[in-house]
Amino acid sequence: MIKLMRAFSFLAIPLLVFACGSDDNDVIEEPEEPWLEAIELDLTTLTLEVTDTDTLTVITDIDDSTVVWESSDPDVVKVGEEGGLLALKSGTATITASVGGLTATCDVIVDLTIFVGGSAREFEAAYWKNGEINYLTITGNSEGLYSWVNNIKVLNGHLYAGGIKLEQHSIIWKDFEEIILGDGYQEVKEMATMQNEIYAVINNGNLFKLSETDELSLIKDEAHTANSIYIDKDDIYVGGITQYGNESRPAIWKNGNELVLDYDEYTWITDVFVSQDIFYACGYENLGAGVVQARYWENTVKANLTEGSTKALVKSIVVDDDDIYIAGSLNHRPAVWKNGEVFFYAESGIEGSIAEIIMHDGNLYAAGGLDLGTNSVGVVWKNGEEIFRTDVFDQGYINCIEIK
């Protein structure tokens, strides 16, 4: 009897174990492992120049999860939904990619970028970006047609170059896209920006607006010769020459209303600048016998920059605090005046002219060209010291400068 009881107990044990395993309420699930512990970008540092583009990529396997991109300074670097970068101005920004609660970053440096525009290789329109040439036309000279850039602006990461192209069309190149403004030997003389729009004045006085969506509209038809435009707040100033019968005289138009300037003889306005609600202009008067006198105006009141005993042409004016800088040429040599006195003057034997000056971070930059016998080169000066010269084989000439 005892042997029989032991056998029964042995057989019952597996049955009890089986019964316990069949109860679903007693199943213990293992804790799920975290899906990701970290994410990684293909780059952690990146250096760009203004108008450069690039793309950051999450190299961690994230399946189909959405990446959220953010720039610490969107005025310096803009980042899109797919990690695309656009450099807007010099500075630094940290780009952050987020997936769930995880992040990865890339530090982006945007170098100071100097743009200059003009012509090269016998009047092919071109611009230089930190010394690297970019041609906007490449066939004009072989057809006996010339192109050049008169003015450059950089807005929202795009380069706008205004000038004249081949068949004598006034044109704005947006990056490398062509936007024709008019024909019949017309040219864009200068441009200005207001918010996200480009304003361009052409030599016959017409004023155009190019919207952010590239819509072009004619907003003024002044029927005069125009050379310059400056926008201060919401006020648009255009400088040039107005014609009354056989008489030509210098004038500034503020929002289309003419402001007549003091003058004596035939005088050109070449540039306009506004500071603290005062408008300034520069130009020159032809005194005959090969003598040209440089002038400038504060509001409508004129002052002589030279006294008529020399040949002087002035093309650009900038006001910084209370200092008035004017640039051009004196006796065929590049020159800059500060408050009426010569501030920079190219050494004897060097011929050329300064086309435009700008102030950036307290430094005065000047851009123009030098004549080297049968050749020419474009030059950029910083506070009177040469910092850039185009390749002599490019036969370059610089008409404008923009720094971001």
Give tens-digit pLDDT for 155-183.
999 999 999 998 788 999 999 999 999 88
Tell me the C-alpha distance between 116 and 376, whole Å.
Answer: 15
Q: Give the pLDDT score at 281.
A: 96
Token duo for residue 126: 């071109």
At residue 16, does pLDDT exceed 50? no
pLDDT one-digit tens code per residue, 311-356: 888 999 999 998 999 999 998 899 999 999 999 888 888 899 999 9
Same structural domain, 56 and 165: no
Tell me the C-alpha distance between 209 and 205, whole Å.
Answer: 13
Same structural domain, 220 and 84: no
CB distance 69 to 81 below 8 Å: yes
Q: What percent of the chain has pLDDT over 70?
A: 89
pLDDT one-digit tens code per residue, 109-145: 999 999 999 999 878 999 999 999 999 998 755 566 7
Number of Cβ within 10 Å of residue 397's Cβ equals 24
Same structural domain, 137 and 206: yes
Q: Give the pLDDT score at 156.
A: 95
Token duo for residue 177: 């896209």
Q: Which of 111, 135, 151 is the last residue of a domain?
A: 111
Number of Cβ within 10 Å of residue 404's Cβ equals 22
Domain of residue 388, CATH code: 2.130.10.10
Same structural domain, 95 and 131: no
Q: Tell me whether residue 303 is in a domain.
A: yes
Tell me the C-alpha distance between 393 and 380, whole Å.
Answer: 17
Radius of gyration of the chain (CA): 33
At residue 271, does pLDDT exceed 90? yes
Q: Tell me whether residue 31 is in a domain.
A: no
Q: Which single residue is written with the structure tokens 């704005």?
A: 172
Same structural domain, 221 and 344: yes
Same structural domain, 250 and 140: yes
pLDDT one-digit tens code per residue, 210-260: 998 999 999 876 668 899 999 999 999 999 988 777 777 888 999 989 888
Same structural domain, 98 and 178: no
Same structural domain, 83 and 160: no
Amino acid at 328: G
Long-range contacts of 174-182 (CB under 8 A, 24+ apart): 174/210, 174/214, 175/51, 176/136, 179/210, 179/214, 179/216, 181/206, 181/208, 181/216, 182/206
CB distance 171 to 150 below 8 Å: no
Same structural domain, 63 and 206: no
For residues 193-197, give the mean pLDDT.
94
Q: Provide the domain count of the chain.
A: 2
Q: Tell me whether residue 156 is in a domain.
A: yes
Token duo for residue 338: 């500060």
Domain of residue 66, CATH code: 2.60.40.1080
CB distance 201 to 238 below 8 Å: yes
CB distance 173 to 136 below 8 Å: yes
Number of Cβ within 10 Å of residue 386's Cβ equals 12
Same structural domain, 83 and 186: no
Amino acid at 226: A
Q: Give the pLDDT score at 12.
A: 42
Q: Which residues contact 338 (CB under 8 A, 6 or more apart)?
A: 323, 324, 325
Q: Tell me whether residue 36 is in a domain.
A: no
Q: Which of 64, 96, 111 is the last residue of a domain?
A: 111
For residues 375-397, give the mean pLDDT.
90
Tell me the C-alpha distance between 129 and 115, whole Å.
Answer: 5
Q: Tell me whether residue 18 is in a domain.
A: no
Same structural domain, 325 and 393: yes
CB distance 237 to 279 below 8 Å: yes
Q: Tell me whether residue 26 is in a domain.
A: no
Q: CA torsion sign, 153 to 155 to 157 to 159?
A: negative
Q: Give the pLDDT score at 223.
A: 61
Q: Tell me whether residue 35 is in a domain.
A: no
**3-state SS assignment for residue 9:** helix
At residue 27, does pLDDT exceed 60? no
Same structural domain, 274 and 361: yes
Q: Give the pLDDT score at 15.
A: 37
Range of the domain at 135: 114-403
Q: What percent of the chain has pLDDT over 90?
A: 62
Amino acid at 314: V
Give the predicted TM-score (pTM) of the model.
0.87
The DSSP call for residue 119 is: E
* Beta strands 45-49 and 102-111, pairing class: parallel
How does residue 65 score in pLDDT terms, banded at 50, 70 and 90? confident
For residues 53-77, give the mean pLDDT.
94
How does residue 63 score in pLDDT terms, banded at 50, 70 and 90? confident
Q: Tell me whether residue 139 is in a domain.
A: yes
Q: Which of 83, 111, 139 is the last residue of a domain?
A: 111
